[in-house]
Structure 1
Amino acid sequence: MKIQHIEIFAIRLPLHEPFVISYATYPDMPSVIVKMTTDTGVVGYGEAVADEHVTGESREGTFAVIEHTLAPAVIGLDPAEFERLHTVMDKAIYGVPAAKAAIDIACMDAVGKSLGIPAYQLLGGRYHDSFPITHVLSIGEPQAMADEAAQMMEAGYRSFKMKVGTVPADDVKRIQAVRGRVGDDIAIRVDVNQGWKNSAATLQAMKNLEACQLDWLEQPVLADDIDGLVEVKSKSATPLMADESLRGTTQMREIIAKRAADKVNIKLMKCGGMYPAMKLAHMAEMAGIDCQVGSMVESSIGSAAGFHVAFSQKTITSVELTGPLKFSKDIGDLQYDVPFIRLNEKPGLGISIDAQVLAELTEYRSGVGSL
């Protein structure tokens, strides 16, 4: 089986509500979809959700890189030779992990379909039966965030991820408001998205949050400040998660060597796809570090890919892949059993793509190779 043709679609996924985090407000989510066709007629889908603030990629740049560099490089290759595919892509261009993730995911989908097995079987087989889903609270006024959390509790959610990262004192009020509303038995995870900038500001905030009993604090300092993570971890009892600080194996080695985090957030868009994500999980497991598979707010395609990785790896103990729940219209049909998700046993990513919705959401498209 060989990769014969790659179509690329630049789309925008409409959100129910704007998604607000420390460095941006998203009225919708820009994404790049890859449709890969093999010489045997098998079709696989992949996705790239670029983030200028995390991977240094834009949707426009990602589209161009796939069209002019990555797609021409992989045409004619066997999509099942994952190690070779990544070597070829890495030789073709440095970095651009979200663009590479789109190719990687499409290959996993196509190979799974060709063999009649779910993609998680390509990564070691299924380990977890289900995962609880965490509801993500965008940055808002303390009372509004508390009200949303209370409403989601009634829907069955037992854990919340709070987006913060503004003025630390204001964020403390947000966190205290939510904890006061949901009680002590609900899990609260706090994601600062680098917003507190440094260890000093973080440690000041954490002194006021000791009574809130957080599950963990995620990425309070700037991405490249791994030494800042070390200081926060050494001076706070709250478990610390690295997110933007972890992009690939280079950062994982430093985090392990410096014992800079208790947990790491693996995102396919940061590391280059499902195959590299599995490698990062193995590195973390050897170091005794728990993992989460996180989201860049992908459609059913990217979210399903993340779930297949998470379900296959013992050291991945939580997931935050809620993109499809936030969209008013999606191109795929990934199914949630809120507040849980249980993957099906369909081949590949296990989802169907609505060609009509894909066409409706497409702003521009291109193709490489022959059909």
Structure 2
Amino acid sequence: MKITDIKIGSISVPLKTPFKTALRTVNSVNDIIVKIITDTGHIGYGEAAPTGVITGDTAGAIIGAIEDHIRPAITGLDIENLEKIMLNLHGSIVKNSSAKAAVDIAVYDLFGQLHGAPVYKLLGGHGKEITTDITISVNGPEEMAEDSRNAVNSGYTTLKIKVGKDVKKDLARMKTIRKAVGPHVRLRIDANQGWTPKEAVLTLRKMEDAGIEIEFVEQPVQAHDIDGLKHVTDNVSIPTLADESLFSPMDAIRILERRAADLINIKLMKSGGIHNALKITSIAEVYGVECMIGCMLEAKVSVTAAAHLGAAKSIITRIDLDGPVLCSEDPVIGGAVFNESKIVLGDEPGFGIHDITGIVYRR
């Protein structure tokens, strides 16, 4: 099963409601799709999310990286030699983690097909059903409380609340939400780098004093500020989760060596795909630090891949894969089944993706 070509296209999927964080507001998922074609007729699908404010990857950069660097580096290689493909993929160009992730996902899809097994079984096979949280966009306190109630009524038991856009309002947001959903719903908060270290400590201590039970706070400070992240970790009792601070396996070592965060968030668009994500899970296992598997605003191809990794590894104890349920439609035929908070993986080889409607191919 040799790679003969990589086709590149794009999809656009409207969101049910605008997605708002401290960094951006988004109305639709506009992702790059790759289709790896083999000499046996097997096809592997991958997806990249252009998220310039986080990864630095734009649609044009993703396309250019694949066309000019990645495609020539892996065309002609046999899927059986996964190690060689990954060495060539990651050696073909520096950074460009989203482009690498899209191709990596398509290769793992084919690797599963080659061996006649779903990818999660090849990666560890810990389980086949996982439960995700859902994100509540940052808005006024009452609107966020209403969104939270609606999510709970839809069966979600864990909510990820976006904060960090206005530190003075964040306490009011969390008080109103906790009152709206009651004491038994798990609340996670994500500041998306929106606070300074001092603001983070002050705000989180106020939330502690107010009795707002919070499972963890995600990326409270700027991505580069590992000292600041450690300061927050050392000075509040709410656990911290590193997200934008962690892209690579080396980032994981730096953060965990210093105990700068209590938890780490793996996203395929940051790690460059499953190959490096597996290295991060191994590092986390060595340090005894649990992981969350997350996603950008992505459609079902790449989130299915992330779900397979999340189901495969026991060190991944938290799931934040709500991208597909935030979309108003699903162009992907096959793949994981997303039923609100429940994600169920099938037994088809690879990722079980048969086709994607509405792709606009470049050639």
How high is the TM-score relative to the length of structure 2?
0.96
Deviation, 1:86, is 2.4
Instruction: Provide the residue aligned with 2:351 in structure 1.
Output: 349
Deviation, 1:52, is 1.1
Tell me, in whole angstroms, the C-alpha distance in 2 between the residues paired with 1:250 and 1:151.
40
Tell me, in whole angstroms, the C-alpha distance in 1 between the residues paired with 2:112 and 2:72.
23
Instruction: Provide the residue aligned with 2:362 in structure 1.
Output: 366
The question of whether the paired residues in 2 share the 8 Å contact of 1:6 and 1:34 is answered with yes
Instruction: Provide the residue aligned with 1:154 in structure 2.
Output: 153
Instruction: Provide the residue aligned with 2:202 in structure 1.
Output: 204
After the TM superposition, which of the residue ranges 230-239 and 59-68 deviates more from structure 2? Answer: 59-68
Tell me, in whole angstroms, the C-alpha distance in 1 between the residues paired with 2:226 and 2:101.
25
The question of whether the paired residues in 1 share the 8 Å contact of 2:132 and 2:342 is answered with yes
Tell me, in whole angstroms, the C-alpha distance in 1 between the residues paired with 2:220 and 2:104.
30
The question of whether the paired residues in 1 share the 8 Å contact of 2:281 and 2:315 is answered with yes
Tell me, in whole angstroms, the C-alpha distance in 2 between the residues paired with 1:110 and 1:48.
17
Instruction: Provide the residue aligned with 2:339 in structure 1.
Output: 337
Tell me, in whole angstroms, the C-alpha distance in 2 between the residues paired with 1:296 and 1:80.
30
Is 1:265 equivalent to 2:237 in the alignment? no
Runs of 4+ in 1 over 3 A off after TM superposition: none
Instruction: Provide the residue aligned with 2:134 in structure 1.
Output: 135
Tell me, in whole angstroms, the C-alpha distance in 2 between the residues paired with 1:349 and 1:18.
29
Instruction: Provide the residue aligned with 1:49 in structure 2.
Output: 49
Instruction: Provide the residue aligned with 2:191 in structure 1.
Output: 192
1:318-365 superposed Cα distances (whole Å, 9 cap, x missing partner): 1111111111222214312333222111111123323xx223xx3xx3
Tell me, in whole angstroms, the C-alpha distance in 1 between the residues paired with 2:73 and 2:158.
43
Tell me the amino acid that sits aligned with residue 150 of structure 2: Q
Aligned residues: 359
Tell me, in whole angstroms, the C-alpha distance in 2 between the residues paired with 1:9 and 1:44.
14
Give structure 2 stretches of 5+ with no counterpart. Answer: none
Secondary structure, aligned partner of 1:84:
helix
Secondary structure, aligned partner of 1:208:
helix
Give structure 1 stretches of 5+ with no counterpart. Answer: none
Secondary structure, aligned partner of 1:52:
coil
State the Cα RMSD in Å: 1.3
After the TM superposition, which of the residue ranges 324-333 and 201-210 deviates more from structure 2? Answer: 324-333
Tell me the amino acid that sits aligned with residue 351 of structure 1: I
Tell me the amino acid that sits aligned with residue 294 of structure 2: G
Instruction: Provide the residue aligned with 2:274 in structure 1.
Output: 274
1:105-254 paired onto structure 2 within 5 Å: 105-124=105-124, 126-196=125-195, 198-210=196-208, 211-254=211-254
1:215-243 superposed Cα distances (whole Å, 9 cap, x missing partner): 00000100011111111011000011000
Tell me, in whole angstroms, the C-alpha distance in 2 between the residues paired with 1:123 and 1:153.
32
The question of whether the paired residues in 1 share the 8 Å contact of 2:128 and 2:346 is answered with no
Tell me the amino acid that sits aligned with residue 197 of structure 2: S
Instruction: Provide the residue aligned with 2:295 in structure 1.
Output: 295
Q: Percent identity?
A: 35
